Amino acid sequence: MYVVHSTVQVPKGKADEVIAIYQNRSRLVDTFEGFQVFHLWQNEKRPEELTVHMEWLDKASYMNWVTSDAFKKVHELEKNYPDQELAAIVPKVTKYAVVAR
């Protein structure tokens, strides 16, 4: 299993707006081979910290996603948010290989 976290710090008062974007996401990734789980997490102590948690069958499946036209399409949409403050957010991406269960 391969896990990817993408964490962002959103501007104060904008967490609900970002959460709504993810609640209405395109779901293109859901159909990709090897995709297993998508969650959006909100930090309980720092509500402006949001983390996208994705689980993949393996690293190769994830790499197929990030090099796909669907991935490019999803991330092009992010650049076109009407709120340029949100469009400018750069996530911290962390990747994990699951080595024990």
Q: What is the CATH number of the domain that holds 92?
A: 3.30.70.100
Q: Which residues pair with 37 in a beta bridge?
A: 55
Helices of type H across 24-81: 59-66, 69-79
- pTM value is 0.88
CA-wise closest residue to 26 among 78, 66, 61? 78
Structural domain count of the chain: 1
pLDDT at 81 > cutoff 80: no
d(CA 3, CA 37): 9
pLDDT tens sequence across 83-99? 778 777 889 999 999 99
**Containing structural domain, residue 49:** 2-97
